[in-house]
Amino acid sequence: MINSLKPASRLTIIFILAVILSGSVLTYFSINNISNLKELTEKRILEEQRELSSRFSTAIQNNIEKVTDGFNNEISLSPALKDSLLKRTSEYGFIIQPFILKNNDQFLHPNFIGIPENLTVVKLLSRFNSVFRKGEEAEFFEKDQGKSKEYYLSCLGYSTGRNDSVKALNALGRVSVKLNDVKNAMTYYNLVISEYFPVTDDNGLPYSYYALPQLLKITNANNPETILPSVEFCLEKMNTGSVPLNYNTEELINLVTEWLKDNTLNNRERSANIIKLTESLKKQVQFSIKYGDELSELVKKGNSESHVVAANDFKVVNPVSGSNLEFFLINTNLKNPAGFLIDRKKLLNTVARTDLQHGFEFDYKIEFPAVYNSNTTEDNLFYTTQLNPLFPEQLIEIKPDDENLIKDLIKRRGWIYGIASVLLLVAMFLGVVLILRDISREKHLARLRSDFISNITHELKTPLTSIRMYAESLMMGRVKSDQVQKEYLSVVVNETDRLKRMINNILEFSKMEKGKPEYHFIKSNLAFILNEAIHEVNYWFEKEHFEVVNELDETIYAEVDPEKMKQAVGNLLSNAIKYSTNTKKIFIRLFKKPERVCIEVEDQGMGIPEDKLSRIFDQFYRIEQKESISGTGLGLTVVKEIIEAHHGSISVTSEIGKGSRFMVIIPLCGT
């Protein structure tokens, strides 16, 4: 069968075979692919989770290195060391508290002295002391505040040093409060704070601790703004350690906080700073109370402790007393052992926020569970592991951001492959339809061709037989009368014309097939051409007794190839003759329409069925008739080709039993 097909059809078959083959291969691989996809993706995810966990661990290490970098014995002298520690604290949000210890295990920073040691004060029998005692007697026993004030004032003159002066000033402040002398009380206490802040009394308590609550109390109602600088100054000194901290500090801070709440202060900046200072102080005190003993133990043990060094001689130590949410980074090799208390959660979250997932195919969520997740199944792809050797008990859990990652991926792939397969099936189906259509067309054309051959043989034979018969009779001298001789000769001439017309059609069709019919357009009178065409078939008109009605506008000119146009009109006329039955009447019209010329050939013959109208211009197409009418099926094909080469069009209207009308329209050119 393939050999009987045109090369195009063979190509179609090869194409379909190729599609079927590649489609099958594709389907096989896609099914394989989907089943491998899950496994491969899980592997990929596990690889990325491992990589992420190791990146996280490295990032933790880097952070610890950055925090602990640059501390050595050069800067271990306390002011420089303290500055560096404070600077790091302000840079890294996860540092809760920096600290420095003396080698004798007490804190240098925060300057927390706990319970002040009872100072063994050698009470000198000085003039100051005896006058001061008189002042106290007047104040506490005689309750004569005026008198006591006198004594205290004179004390100032006898003071032997800063301790005496501040003691007298503090007493004067106290008496002034009792005397309701707010103005003076403020002056004395402000002086105590600004000039004598570090000085402690006989019990080791700084005088600021007396002055500050008093100041807060007396200014509570009127003009609290006036003491703001003193409050700020005092807290700052406590914060930097110039005024030591102790168990009373928290109470003092609470007083300040209350005072801030009770008074609306205009100086926002200062009050914000005061709040910041109180918070920092609270932290320092709480830290000192919570971890003081533990840290001094640690320092005592020093290098004998077997903690792993994290970076730059700093070790990670988990507090025994605290929760595992905090840990120390401590360097006991410095002259003054120092370090930081770190908020572990904050450190982990800081690292988790950094871009550790660059270059990954999927996105992940990081969490830090306390215990291994018991929900871990093969499907939820949780990866839990120990975070870092420095924190043996700290777990890190890494899971895909999108819980349905694999399900979605497989679904998506399934869709893609599904759609591709459907498209492939459609393409294959279309291919089969196309090829079947192609085959049936080829078959039909082959039949038409074979019909054509038998038709043409018959068509050629008929006129040739007549020509031979008449010519032979003439040659043999059988016809004597001039009249009959002429008649015989005219038959020969007209049959030759018929032959010529037929051969011309075949030649024209063959040129059409090759795609190169030649046209020579010249401006011509169309009535003249039509008359020539009529003249060529006149013999048949007369022979068959046709009534021919000519309605030709003789003024019409158009750019045409006269021979081809004559051939086209000749074909239409010859058809009109062939397909006329009883009513032998033909109309030939030529008239103008705007910009166009119309040629009509109308007969009153057998007509054409409506469903065949669209096919009569096809090559080799013939309508089967009851009585055999000779023809090749090329006449109208050639007419259409010629008219279209003239940029025109041909149409037909017809009614069975009444006749047909062929209308040719071509462009007009001026007369």
From candidates 579, 599, 666, 668, binder to ligand ADP by CB under 6 A? 579
Residues in the chain: 671
Separation between Cα atoms, residue 381 and residue 49, nearest integer Å: 10
Least spacing, CB of residue 617 vs ligand ADP, in Å: 7
Count of positions on this chain that bind ligand ADP (CB under 6 A): 20
* Residue 336 near residue 330, CB atoms below 8 Å: no
> Dihedrals φ, ψ of 70, to 5°?
90, 5
How many DSSP H helices and E strands does the chain contain?
16, 18
Residues whose CB falls within 8 Å of the CB of residue 157, separated by 6 or more in sequence, listed in order: none
Whether the Cβ atoms of residue 347 and residue 94 lie closer than 8 Å to each other: yes
Is residue 367 within 8 Å of 397, Cβ to Cβ? yes
Subset of residues 62 to 91 that bind ligand ADP, contact rule: CB under 6 A: none
Q: For residue 632, state whether it binds ligand ADP (rule: CB under 6 A).
A: yes
At its nearest, how many Å lie between ligand ADP and the CB of residue 560? Answer: 20
Q: Of 89 and 660, which CB lies nearer to ligand ADP in the complex structure?
A: 660
Query: If you compute the radius of gyration of the chain from its CA atoms, what whole number of angstroms results?
Result: 60
Helical H segments across 265-401, by residue range: 268-301, 344-353
| 616 binds ligand ADP per the rule CB under 6 A | yes
Find the shortest distance in angstroms from Cβ 523 to ligand ADP: 29
Q: How far apart are CA 641 and CA 331, in angstroms?
A: 104
Shorter beta-carbon distance to ligand ADP: residue 118 or 628: 628
605 binds ligand ADP (CB under 6 A): yes
Indicate which single residue of 241, 285, 660, 668 sits in contact with ligand ADP (rule: CB under 6 A). 660
Nearer CB in complex with ligand ADP: 139/641: 641
Site for ligand ADP in 558-577 (CB under 6 A): 575-576
CB of 498 to ligand ADP, least distance (A): 12
Lateral strand order in the sheet of 95-101: 107-109, 95-101, 338-343, 326-331, 314-317, 309-311
Note whether 631 binds ligand ADP by CB under 6 A: yes
For ligand ADP, what does the binding mask look like between residues 637 and 656, x meaning CB under 6 A?
A: x-------------------
Q: Does 633 bind ligand ADP (CB under 6 A)?
A: yes
Contact 288, 107 (CB under 8 A): yes
- Residue 654 Cβ vs ligand ADP, minimum distance, rounded to whole Å: 7
Residue span binding ligand ADP (CB under 6 A) among the ranges 240-248, 461-469, 543-551, 615-623 = 615-623
Closer of 9 and 660 to ligand ADP (Cβ): 660
Please, what is the minimum distance in Å from the beta carbon of residue 516 to ligand ADP? 22
Task: Select from 24-32, 345-353, 545-553, 598-606 the region that touches ligand ADP (CB under 6 A).
Answer: 598-606
Beta bridge partners of 383: 398
Asked if 203 and 119 touch (Cβ cutoff 8 Å), the reply is yes
Residues 129-148 that bind ligand ADP (CB under 6 A): none
310 vs 315: CA distance, rounded Å? 5
Provide the minimum distance between the beta carbon of 650 and ligand ADP in the complex, in angstroms, as a whole number.
Answer: 11
3-class secondary-structure state, position 114: strand
Is 218 in contact with 174 (CB distance < 8 Å)? no
Residue 79: both structure tokens together: 């002011």
With contacts defined by CB under 6 A, name the span among 62-70, 290-298, 356-364, 629-637 that binds ligand ADP. 629-637
Cα gap 440→445, rounded to integer Å: 9
Q: CB of residue 609 vs ligand ADP: minimum separation in angstroms?
A: 9
CB of 660 to ligand ADP, least distance (A): 4
Nearest residue (CB) to ligand ADP, 109 versus 622:
622
622 part of the interface to ligand ADP, by CB under 6 A: yes
Q: Of residues 244, 431, 570, 635, which one binds ligand ADP by CB under 6 A?
A: 635
The residue range among 101-109, 228-236, 586-594, 618-626 that interacts with ligand ADP, by the rule CB under 6 A, is: 618-626
Would you count residue 603 as binding ligand ADP (CB under 6 A)? yes
Comparing CA positions, the residue from 594, 579, 570 lying closest to residue 657 is 579
Locate tokens 């004390």: which residue? 155
Segment near ligand ADP (CB under 6 A); pick from 200-208, 320-328, 468-476, 605-613: 605-613
Are 528 and 569 within 8 A, CB to CB? no
Decide if residue 606 touches ligand ADP (CB under 6 A): yes
* Region class of 143: left (phi > 0), else alpha (psi between -120 and 50), else beta: left
Q: Which of 307, 300, 381 is nearest to 337 (CA)?
A: 300
Shortest Å distance, C-beta 634 to ligand ADP: 6
CA torsion sign for 438, 441, 443, 449 is negative
Cβ-based nearer residue to ligand ADP, 324 or 625: 625
Q: Which of 100, 608, 642, 645 binds ligand ADP (CB under 6 A)?
A: 608
Helix axes 249-262 and 208-218, enclosed angle (nearest 10):
20
Which residues are near ligand ADP by CB under 6 A?
575-576, 579, 603, 605-608, 616, 621-623, 631-637, 660
